Amino acid sequence: MTEWSIDRAVTELLDRETARRDGGRITTEWPELDLATAYEVQDALVRRKVGAGENVVGVKLGLTSRAKQERMGIDSPLTAWLTDAMVLPAGEPVPLGELIHPRVEPEIVFVLGERLRGPGVTAATALAAVRSVHAGFEVIDSRYRDFSFALPDVVADNASSARFVVGAKGLAPSALDLGLEACLLGVDGKVVASATGAAVQGHPAEALALAANALGRRGVALEPGWIVLTGGLTDAVFVERGQEVTADFTSLGSLSVTGR
Ligand code: 0L1
Ligand code: MG
């Protein structure tokens, strides 16, 4: 068996994604995979995607809400990369045939108007850099069996990233109270979960500041025009063929996706 390395982990994770195959945790075979190395795997994985023609269009946070942390059994938020190949235009179905075992989660999404570079970014300075706030969905698709992973595994796997939807309606941050912005998550017309923006680190702007500071420590700035997914507000739901998942927000409008 070849020794584990950053390169081998990237190849394994990308092979699983391409073949629509899940597999065991990398940390089972490579217990020395620590968080810093896992972020190196994540960066190298995204460099391979960029080398294949994808473009980085933003970042996402994961595990920012208690609902997500409790479900995944991990209490540390994380960051990961978004590329243009992950964009699912609003109204398009979730392409089940291209994915392994997708789940959908509602998110509050920022589009940046100004550059943000940590460390030292506060929620207030973070929010001042936001051009518009949107409702969104993230379609996550872990390359690990049963979405079972330790923190370094999921970080290496670019935090289960697969697709994301950004709602067309964009509001200035000053136009709404993001901590109180409520979201009802529905499946086939039945509400299955609910949360307000406060579920995300107390306020989604705290999540944005967290991303700016974490990436700043790695020498990366968040650029104007970048999309930032602030993390699942509620637990994610599986989406089956023909099933409709809806997110109804107080001010940000409604979104729906159907599995196909
Ligand atoms: O928004 C999120 O919390 C995504 C977390 C990514 C890890 C996962 O739930 O698979
Ligand atoms: Mg998410």
Domains of the chain in start order, with CATH, are 6-258 (3.90.850.10)
Contact at 8 Å (CB) between 145 and 194?
Answer: no
Extract the tokens encoding 234: 């509620």
| Distance (Å) from CA 65 to ligand 2 centroid | 10
Does residue 117 carry a pLDDT above 80? yes
Does residue 1 carry a pLDDT above 80? no
Atom 7, ligand 1: which residue's CA is nearest? 159
Backbone torsions φ then ψ of 2, nearest 5 degrees: -65, 145
Residues having C-beta closer than 5 Å to ion ligand 2: 138, 232
Residue 103: what pLDDT? 98
Backbone torsions φ then ψ of 138, nearest 5 degrees: -110, 135
What residues are in contact with ligand 1 under a 6 Å CB criterion? 62-63, 68, 72, 105, 138, 140, 142, 147, 154, 159-160, 231-232
Extract the tokens encoding 205: 């702007």
Per-residue pLDDT band at 163 (split at 50, 70, 90): very high
Instruction: Please list the residues that pair with 195 across neighbouring strands.
Output: 183
Does residue 245 carry a pLDDT above 80? yes
| Distance (Å) from CA 138 to ligand 2 centroid | 5
Residue 39: strand, helix, or coil: helix
- Give dist(CA 78, CA 249) in Å, integer: 25
- Give the CA distances from residue 189 to residues 84, 166, 244, 256, in Å, rounded to whole numbers and listed in that order: 30, 21, 8, 11
Does residue 107 carry a pLDDT above 70? yes
Which ligand is closest in space to the CA of residue 137?
Answer: 2
Provide ipTM, 2 decimals: 0.93
Mean pLDDT of 49-72: 97
